[in-house]
Amino acid sequence: MRENEGNMVNKLCLVTGGTAGIGLSTAKMLAERGADLILLGRNEERGQAAVAYVKHSGGKTPEFLPVDLSDQSAIRAFAARFNSTHPRLDVLVNNAGGMFGRRQLSANGIEMTFALNHLAYFLLSHLLMPSLRSAQRARIVNVASDAHFGVNLDFENLQNERRYSGWLAYKRSKLCNLLFTYELSRRLEGTSITANALHPGFVNSEIGVRNSWTAGFVWSLVTLFAVSPERGAETSAYLASSSEVQSVSGKYFAKSRMKPSSRASYDHVSAKKLWDVSASLTQLDETALLASASHSCMISSQAATSRSGST
Ligand SMILES: NC(=O)c1ccc[n+]([C@@H]2O[C@H](COP(=O)([O-])OP(=O)(O)OC[C@H]3O[C@@H](n4cnc5c(N)ncnc54)[C@H](OP(=O)(O)O)[C@@H]3O)[C@@H](O)[C@H]2O)c1
């Protein structure tokens, strides 16, 4: 184990989209560091294959739970069950995401990219707050992307109704990941829970073909220049486990190093507005959310000092 790879023995980590690509490799790395793991994905067969793959890495056998994260009722049912059966959660890696070639709606009638790539992160993080709160220190790791550079949020077209472009919808959803991470971190200030975001690099996964975003042969050509899922998972695993970042919150990372995100991502007004819209679209009670975070045990004053906000 390298120095910056934290020992994860007796730590419970939940990785969404843990059945393929970057999420599966993240799960494998955390298992190798001794973590107990829960993997979420939609497909039972892929889930069991992922369990077998992680088990072979020598870590504990992970648990796979099928949850369609684009469906808010499925997230709610999962979170209720999780909170009642698990005394605590140490790390939540919000990783599951997709690109969608044509505009489609989730079970809740919400544009799919926005529903899966942003609202699922938002809702799951909030609903698992009781378990995160119970950990001595907890981390929320949001997989974003450098694809967020070069776009702004259009609150009049948040669900990409006008002139749909799968790539633009994706870029905006990744900007949402940053705005959400920074706002969440601000709201969690003084608690034992940190929230950071990352860019995994351009990774040779199935994301470009899974939902017909692009033709298979085009994707296979483009990904000739991509890094492996193992390389892509390094920053997720670093943020989930390294002691170097245990008190760091509200930051953006790539290659396991802090880096600035786009100017638009630091806009507090947009972050607050996105938060309010997201709370309304997920029907979350703001008062209950803030109450759940404020009960968290206080982090040390040294940790609090090291939180320098998101700018
Ligand atoms: N690949 C890249 O170059 C790249 C670059 C920057 C950022 N990212 C980000 O990295 C993250 C992971 O991407 P990836 O490239 O590893 O993608 P991937 O290979 O397509 O894997 C996506 C994972 O998410 C799960 N998933 C998809 N839709 C889901 C749903 N509705 N409910 C539950 N699980 C769902 C998939 O499992 P099932 O299909 O079994 O449900 C799979 O485990 C995403 O957030 C993406 O935006 C990727």
Q: What percent of the chain has pLDDT over 90?
A: 79
Q: What percent of the chain has pLDDT over 70?
A: 90
pLDDT at 290: 54
| Average pLDDT over every residue of 264-293 | 85
* CB distance 208 to ligand 1 below 6 Å: no
> SS3 for 70?
coil
Q: Which of 114-123, 155-164, 233-242 has the lowest mean pLDDT?
A: 155-164
pLDDT at 297: 37
Is it the case that residue 253 has pLDDT exceeding 70?
yes
Positions marked catalytic: 170
Is it the case that residue 79 has pLDDT exceeding 50?
yes
For residues 114 and 106, give the distance between their C-alpha atoms in angstroms, rounded to a whole number: 9
Q: What is the distance of C-alpha 96 from the center of its chain?
A: 7
Is it the case that residue 29 has pLDDT exceeding 80?
yes
For residue 105, what are its two tokens?
């709606």
More confident residue, 295 or 154: 154
| Average pLDDT over every residue of 98-118 | 97
Q: Residue 59 — pLDDT band, cuts 50, 70, 90? A: confident
pLDDT at 62: 96
Summarize pLDDT for 264-274 with one digit per residue, the tens: 999 999 999 99
Please give the CATH number for the structural domain made up of 12-306.
3.40.50.720
pLDDT at 289: 61
The Cα-based distances of 54 to 8, 15, 58, 61, 242 in angstroms read 15, 12, 7, 7, 20
DSSP line for 78-89? HHHHHHHH-S--
| Average pLDDT over every residue of 152-159 | 95
Supply the residue whose CA is at minimum distance from atom 34 of ligand 1: 41
For residue 220, what are its two tokens?
């296979």
pLDDT at 175: 98
Q: Cα(116) to centroid of ligand 1, in Å? A: 10
Q: Cα(208) to centroid of ligand 1, in Å? A: 10
| Average pLDDT over every residue of 127-150 | 97
Supply the residue whose CA is at minimum distance from atom 44 of ligand 1: 97
Domain ranges in the chain are 12-306
pLDDT at 300: 33
Is it the case that residue 303 has pLDDT exceeding 70?
no
Q: Residue 304 — pLDDT band, cuts 50, 70, 90? A: very low
For residues 101 and 215, give the distance between their C-alpha atoms in angstroms, rounded to a whole number: 10
Give me the residue label for tokens 């992160």.
121
For residues 251 and 267, give the distance between their C-alpha atoms in angstroms, rounded to a whole number: 14
Q: Cα(207) to centroid of ligand 1, in Å? A: 6
| Average pLDDT over every residue of 235-246 | 97
Crossing angle of helices 268-281 and 166-187, in 10° steps, is: 100
DSSP line for 150-212? T----TTSTT--SS--HHHHHHHHHHHHHHHHHHHHHHTTTSSEEEEEEE--SB-SSHHHHTS
pLDDT at 60: 83
For residues 302 and 255, give the distance between their C-alpha atoms in angstroms, rounded to a whole number: 26
Q: Residue 308 — pLDDT band, cuts 50, 70, 90? A: very low
For residues 252 and 86, give the distance between their C-alpha atoms in angstroms, rounded to a whole number: 29
Average pLDDT of the chain is: 90
Summarize pLDDT for 61-75 with one digit per residue, the tens: 999 999 999 999 999
Give the N- to C-terminal CA distance of the chain in Å, as an integer. Answer: 32
* CB distance 231 to ligand 1 below 6 Å: no
Is it the case that residue 309 has pLDDT exceeding 50?
no
Strands 63-66 and 91-94: unpaired
Pocket of ligand 1, candidates 46, 48, 114, 207: which has the most ligand atoms within 8 Å of its Cβ, to mutate? 207
DSSP line for 234-262? HHHHHHHH-GGGTT--S-EEETTEEE---
* CB distance 97 to ligand 1 below 6 Å: yes
Within 189-228, residue ranges assigned H as helices are 207-210, 216-222
* CB distance 95 to ligand 1 below 6 Å: yes
For residue 82, what are its two tokens?
């999780």
pLDDT at 17: 98
* pTM for the full predicted model: 0.93
Q: Cα(97) to centroid of ligand 1, in Å? A: 4
Q: Residue 298 — pLDDT band, cuts 50, 70, 90? A: very low
For residues 218 and 221, give the distance between their C-alpha atoms in angstroms, rounded to a whole number: 5
For residues 176 and 183, give the distance between their C-alpha atoms in angstroms, rounded to a whole number: 10
* CB distance 96 to ligand 1 below 6 Å: yes
